[in-house]
Amino acid sequence: MLTSRASLRAHICAGRLAHVMAAHSPLSAILAEEAGFDGIWASGFELSALYGLPDASLVSMTRHLDMVRSMAEQSSLPIIADIDTGFGNAINVIYAIQQYERAGAAAVVIEDKAFPKVTSLLADGRQELIRTEEFAGKIRAAVATRADADFLVIARTEALIAELGEAEALKRAKSYEEAGADMILIHSKRKMPDEVESFVRAWRGEAPIVIVPTAYPEMNESRIRALGKIAMVIYGNHAIRAAVTAMKDVFARIRADGGIHRIDPEIVPVEEIFRLQKMDAVKANENRFLW
């Protein structure tokens, strides 16, 4: 039976498009698996939001690792860990790779921003990139450190986010591929897919492309497949946004109605939570072992 790492690599090598859903908790990871996604994006943005913090390198590696480990315990899907800038320089990356591999991640994504980073889609946000050579060193360190050859190292360039242009993005991506990156993640904050589509058409490397179409939702599966070079699409923050949407609506209605009597039939019953918690197994073990 293939491990989650081997299955993810095999999925990519077979030329099948991997649909990866963001998660910020074991519960959201379970729901992503039940919905039929191919992998889980252990999102730094979503975890920051869960803690009520800005996505600005404030969540520690320990906190993020704990969540990755908890999600790996509850889901069999490959987990792609969003480790931002790698928590420092190449030395920090070496330690991070060791820890995330042990925690059960199938892949990591490292971005070429300066630490501390600022979330990519923030209007007028500070977007500073480190030197190409320095980031290539981080990728080489990650590749040299992994113990499992199936563990994917994905290099993310923020050149388009920093408005440095397609030529710079392509140059950086090529350098990162030469450093050993298994895949290249290209990110954009444009409202239409044109910028990313242009990059993908111009890409001459062998490494498959990863995209995160949060800012340009018109980039659907048919458009992605038409480009032919994209191997993974990450739905980067929809779990936390859906959760916030639902909670705000339910909370407001309870206050407006003066109770739960109207909303209760419209939300999942507590028995559905019991199912997700695997309470049947608890009951079975109680019957078996508690005397």
Q: Nearest Cα to 180, choosing from 205, 211, 213, 158?
A: 205
Query: Which amino acid type is present at position 185?
Result: L
Q: Give the chain as a 3 state SS string.
A: CCCHHHHHHHHHHCCCCEEEEEECCHHHHHHHHHCCCCEEEECHHHHHHHCCCCCCCCCCHHHHHHHHHHHHHHCCCCEEEECCCCCCCHHHHHHHHHHHHHHCCCEEEEECECCCCCCCCCCCCCCCECCHHHHHHHHHHHHHHCCCCCCEEEEEECCCCCCCCHHHHHHHHHHHHHCCCCEEEECCCCCCCHHHHHHHHHCCCCCCEEECCCCCCCCCHHHHHHHCCEEEEEECCHHHHHHHHHHHHHHHHHHHHCCCCCCHHHCCCHHHHHHHCCHHHHHHHHHHHCC
As annotated, the active-site residues are 55
pLDDT tens digits, one per residue of 50-77: 999 999 999 999 999 999 999 999 999 9
Parallel, antiparallel or unpaired: strands 152-157 and 107-111: parallel
The mean pLDDT of 103-119, rounded to a whole number, is 95
pLDDT tens digits, one per residue of 235-244: 999 999 999 9
pLDDT tens digits, one per residue of 140-186: 999 999 999 999 999 999 999 999 999 999 999 999 999 999 999 99
- pLDDT given for residue 133 in this prediction: 98
Domains and CATH numbers, the chain: 4-243 (3.20.20.60)
